[in-house]
A and B are shown apart, each in its own frame.
Chain A
Amino acid sequence: MLGNIIILALREIRRNVLRSFLTILGIIIGVAAVITMVTVGGSATAQIQQQIASMGSNLRMVMPGKRMGPGMEAGNVLFKEEDAVAIARDVNSIAAVAPVSTRSLQAIFGNQNWTTQVTGSDNVFIVITNRAVKTGRQFTDSELRSGAAVCILGETVKKKLFGGQEAVGEKIRLQKLSCEVIGILEPKGQNTMGMDQDDVVIIPLKTLQRRVTGNQDVGVLYVSVSKNASTEKVQQELSVLMRERRHLSPSDDDNFNVMDMKEIAKMLTSTTRLLTALLSAVAAVSLLVGGIGIMNIMLVSVTERTREIGTRLAIGALEREVLLQFLIEAVVLSSLGGLLGIVLAMATSVLLTAVLNVPFIFNGPIIIIAFLFSAAVGVIFGYMPAKKAARLNPIDALRYE
């Protein structure tokens, strides 16, 4: 009997294809919006987490300038290489420290040129930023000490200057400095802020200081904290040491700040999650509105089909059969909306993730949840019109004009 009632409901939907489609448009959009939001949000979150993993574990950056200030302001006292040595020596639970200075320079090879970040540092920098040399070698101690004209290229720079050619052993020019390529880094992709981490040339710090900047300054100190170390304790010790070394009186504000990359990434993740949740909530409201749309049309349909319902009742349809028929109509409609919404969501998600340059991650549970929700919407909003239809008095219904 249930099968037959489903047949009746399906026939009814088929009788009104255009109206049925318009009725479920709200559900389609609602379901598609929810699934798209959650899928794209999930993909973005997953990417950030991937990037956290790709970032050196427990990496801190000590930068000159006030905390949360606009960065390298004029008059900021920069660091010296000795600061790095002091941190490594005096602060507990420090795994490694790398002094880093960067300059934006044009790299030239043959008739190719490319403006990139030239980073002056050492092998420790490569390790604590989770990089590795793919081909060639790292710096030797004597190269680091003497400030030799050697460099290690990131994947992007290598491609821009050399294309598919072999780069190790060739000489490139950085401004007036001619230096030999001794290694190529493993590609790393974008970082959390969307910057290309492979667009980099690493040279010994001394080489940068002597041959490019002409001073002894160090821009940033990369500090790698040991695993299982207390974050707050390290932070405090670092702060005390740096204040001391920079001769700050207790009334002075810090003229440096310690950036915890992991914290920033975590913050970004939670922000993304919050945004996803908010947008999904808005989308869920549209599902609700879609449900009200179904109720609306079902009520109109019941009124319009009063005579038909009267005929069915006269022929011998039971109250519960009429109720069930209208309820099934509503559920089939809303489920159909759910299915179409899922298809639309998949298309939109694939497109959006491609545009936003994040990996598409299929989210099965949300699809099932959205589908069940759309079916539930049909039951909830279809019940009232169905009850109204079932309660009709056949005599009045037959006479209805």
Chain B
Amino acid sequence: MNTSSSYQPLIRSEGAIIELSGVSKVYGQGLAAMQALSGVDLSIDAGDFVAVMGPSGSGKSTCLNIIGCLDVPTSGAHHFEGVDVGQLSRDQRALLRRHYLGFVFQGFNLLNRTSALENVELPLVYRGMSAAERHDRAQQALAAVGLKGWEKHTPGELSGGQQQRVAIARAIVTDPVVVLADEPTGNLDSARSREIMDILTELNQQHGITIVMITHEHDIAAYAKRTIHFRDGLIERDDHNGEAV
């Protein structure tokens, strides 16, 4: 909790912000052991927009969990801004997430019966921010995703697209360095999906937020600057799309 007061944004270097070197992840032990990742090398630059694709069980989710500091590699190293995440304690990783990362989930994961504003405020509450400042920033974040005027509505009163926009507002309200999105459009129709992708693209282009996003759909992946294909715990293909669509 003391780190919240000494919070300072990292200086966004031009080089790699996320570095995976020889990362393996094994779940379970002995005969039941399951190799999810088998020696992945990956480096993501600050300001990049990466789509991660691959069939289920290919290791893309495990990879995202490690990048998101929710999990640590069994072997190999994960560096975030030069910090070896594997050496950090559970609480230190939580603080890293709190200050530098934002998460968007397929199922939105909003608190039900809680207003959009309070949902967006949640990460700021953990930062120990004053109520007035929290309020201000949450309103700005909601406005940024086009939900001005919807602050008082609860998730139950919002459409799926709106809920995901609230979730994005919650992810960016802390001004994160990286936003990790796990199939952000998985539960949405194509029109809603386009809205969400436009918002993510804008965050990437206007605010320089690095985005790593898992998706199953090629037209969604096409919004990204770079697409990584996973297969059997390894990176199969790494395409640079050039300019985003």
Contacts and interface: CB of A to CB of B under 8 A. Distances in A.
A299 B217 CA distance: 39
Interface in A294-352: 307-308, 310-321
Contacts of A15: 111-114
A314 B68 contact: yes
A394 B128 contact: no
Contact of A315 (B98, B112, B114): B98
A5 B128 CA distance: 9
A395 B71 contact: yes
B183 interface: no
A308 B122 CA distance: 11
Interface in B72-99: 90-91, 94-99
A361 interface: no
A354 interface: no
A313 B125 contact: no
B103 A315 contact: yes
A220 B97 CA distance: 91
A4 interface: yes
A395 B126 contact: no
A311 B109 contact: yes
Given A1-B4, A395-B65, A316 B125 contact: no
Nearest to B71: A395
B103 A314 contact: yes
A395 B67 CA distance: 13
B128 A315 contact: no
Interface size class of B (residues with CB under 8 A): 20 to 34
B114 A11 contact: yes
A318 B91 contact: yes
Interface string A257-301: 000000000000000000000000000000000000000000000
Interface string B136-171: 000000000000000000000000000000000010
B97 A321 contact: no
Given A307-B109, A321-B126, A395-B71, A316 B95 contact: yes
B118 interface: yes
A319 B99 contact: no
B1 interface: yes
Most buried by B among A5, A308, A315: A315
Contacts of B111: 15, 308, 311
B101 to A, nearest CB: 8
A267 B75 CA distance: 79
A7 interface: yes
Contacts of B109: 307-308, 310-311, 398
A380 interface: no
B14 to A, nearest CB: 26
A316 B113 CA distance: 22
B128 A314 contact: no
B49 interface: no
Contacts of B123: 315-316
A313 B109 CA distance: 12
A239 B144 CA distance: 100
A363 to B, nearest CB: 40
B94 A316 contact: yes
A177 interface: no
B245 interface: no
B128 A4 contact: yes
B70 interface: yes
Nearest to B107: A307
B98 A316 contact: yes
Contacts of B128: 1, 4
Contacts of B223: none
B94 A318 contact: yes
Interface string B203-230: 0000000000000000000000000000
Contacts of A310: 109
Contacts of B98: 315-317
A26 B125 CA distance: 32
A394 B70 contact: yes
B125 A4 contact: yes
A316 B114 contact: no
Interface in B1-15: 1, 4
Nearest to A7: B125
A94 interface: no
Nearest to A399: B61
Interface in B159-194: 170
A380 B38 CA distance: 45
Nearest to B5: A1
A321 to B, nearest CB: 7
A319 B91 CA distance: 7
A88 interface: no
A8 interface: yes
B240 to A, nearest CB: 29
A139 to B, nearest CB: 81
Contacts of B101: 316
Given A1-B128, A15-B114, A307-B109, A315 B71 contact: no
5 contacts: A308-B111, A312-B122, A318-B1, A318-B95, A319-B94
Interface of B: 1, 4, 65, 68, 70-71, 90-91, 94-99, 101, 103, 105, 107, 109, 111-114, 118, 122-123, 125-126, 128, 170
Given A314-B68, A315-B123, A316-B99, 15 more contacts: A1-B4, A11-B118, A15-B114, A16-B113, A307-B107, A307-B109, A311-B103, A311-B111, A313-B94, A315-B97, A315-B122, A315-B126, A318-B1, A321-B1, A395-B70
Q: List the 6 closest A-B pairs by CB distance, nearest first.
A: A316-B98, A316-B97, A311-B109, A15-B113, A1-B128, A4-B125
Interface of A: 1, 4-5, 7-8, 11, 15-16, 307-308, 310-321, 394-395, 398
